[in-house]
Structure 1
């Protein structure tokens, strides 16, 4: 399915379609608890390089530990899961290596599944209405903008589900407002969540499988962007 941009979009030439993109890998494990971890532990195990510095004070609560580093990597630990976050830029090269180091150091943990979450914001020119206009008139093919009693919806979201051989993908599309250097932008936010359930095998086999998923993260980015570019923006 190919969906053309509406004729009244009047995009800039060329249309800037890669304003921002990021990735988050979440490992689910019932043994994980934020009170079990600290930054010294990660440095001692050489998961985090010793020269990395925090850009914000450590956020430490009973149900959350957050570490934000100057490398562009953020680690969030909650009850039952740990998440690694990075913008998709030059710092992305070290991103999978940190996750693989964590997996190798905690090889006895009983990981049950993992998710690779991607976000991509695409700016649209000429005002805040174009995001909802794209969703209503193109994706939903409804010229009445789904009005109820004369009221147009203020926000729009569309969700698609895909089943792949090794994972499932849920793709959300929202019209959003973003701010960059105090410049307000309007457009579409694409959020994709790839979910991998782990086989019921011994821990070493599951760790090996997790490492293979993390090592191939660029394929998730490729598939995610290909769906956006070829299905929704072509």
Structure 2
């Protein structure tokens, strides 16, 4: 992967690029409510392995239930939806197994849609304005966005790819990143969202379709990263 830095960009040596991923799979259903779930129920139904330990205390509110496990997987349950989140470096297979067990155990829910959200945060060494310069000089390649001598202080670009089965939305934003060394750097946040509609599928077909989507998560991640690396960063 090659990163094209803005013109006259002279980073300090050695160059360090921070590249962070996380993936979120969200199921939508109007009858989902946090009060319907708890850790005991998730373990008794074999969705969460008995030996998994919490990384943080459970957050339990009327509108939100959150579990964070040391294995790198988080579960968020809110009104009308449930999300499974995994950090980069964690085991995608664990995520797929947990979600498929969830689909099997709670097949009585009439799922309306599912979304796969991928976030990729990349820092740009040097000036804190390099993210904005990348967006303007490389991605947009124009100064026409300046108005009355003022440059926009934040840029966000969205691309929509109308794939037949799973439309993809990619959003790119320039941000300020705080690294572990407490140095403020500029960065780019790439967000990809795959949408899957389920309303027109029968219950049996819907369950099988959901499992197919989950088993293909790695292919979606690969497609997203290929677009980022071969279209935007070359």
Query: Common fold, TM-score beyond 0.5?
Result: yes
The CA deviation at 1:165 is 2.2
Tell me, yes or no, if the aligned pair for 1:109 and 1:203 is still in contact at 8 Å.
no
CA gap of 1:187–1:64, structure 2 versus 1, over 3 A, is same
Q: Any residues of structure 2 matched to 1:81-100 within 5 Å, and which? A: 81-100=81-100
Task: Give the Å deviation of 1:151.
Answer: 2.5
1:27 and 1:114 in contact (8 A); partners too: yes
Alignment partners' CA distance in 2, 1:12 and 1:223: 32
Match of 1:207 in 2: 207
**Residues 9, 219 of structure 1: alpha-carbon distance in 2 compared, 3 angstrom cutoff:** farther
Higher mean alpha-carbon deviation, 11-20 vs 56-65, is at 11-20
Taking structure 2 as the reference length, the TM-score comes to: 0.91
Match of residue 122 from structure 1:
122
Q: How does 1:174-193 map to 2 (within 5 A)?
A: 174-184=173-183, 185-193=185-193
Of 87-96 and 101-110, deviating more is 87-96
Residue in 2 that maps onto 1:41: 41
Please state how far the C-alpha of 1:96 moved relative to its aligned partner.
Answer: 1.1
Q: Distance in 1 between matches of 2:96 and 2:8?
A: 42
Aligned residues: 231
Q: Taking structure 1 as reference, are residues 176 and 37 closer, same or farther at Cα in structure 2, changes over 3 Å only?
A: same
CA distance 1:133–1:96, change in 2 (3 Å): same
Deviation at 1:181? 2.0
Where do 5+ consecutive residues of structure 1 fail to align? none
Report the more deviating stretch, 84-93 or 5-14.
5-14
Give the 3-state SS of the residue equivalent to 1:150 in structure 2: coil
1:216 CA drift (Å): 0.4
Deviation, 1:4, is 5.6
TM-score by length of 1: 0.91
Instruction: List gaps (5 residues or longer) in structure 2.
Output: none
Between 1:50-59 and 1:188-197, the stretch displaced more is: 50-59
> Contact 2:6–2:130 at 8 Å: present in 1 too?
no
Deviation at 1:108, TM superposition (A): 1.4
In 1, the alpha carbon distance for the partners of 2:100 and 2:17 equals 31
CA distance in 2, matches of 1:181, 1:134: 23
Cα pair 1:18 1:120 within 8 Å, conserved: no
Is this contact kept in 2: 1:16–1:122, CA < 8 A? no
Q: CA deviation at 1:137?
A: 1.5
Indicate if the aligned counterparts of 2:72 and 2:90 stay in contact, CA closer than 8 A.
Answer: no
Q: Partners of 2:141 and 2:228 in 1: how far apart?
A: 18
Give the secondary structure class of the aligned counterpart of 2:8: helix
Counting only pairs closer than 5 Å after superposition, residues 70-89 of structure 1 correspond to structure 2 as: 70-89=70-89
Give yes or no for the alignment of 1:151 onto 2:158: no
How much has 1:183 moved relative to structure 2? 3.0
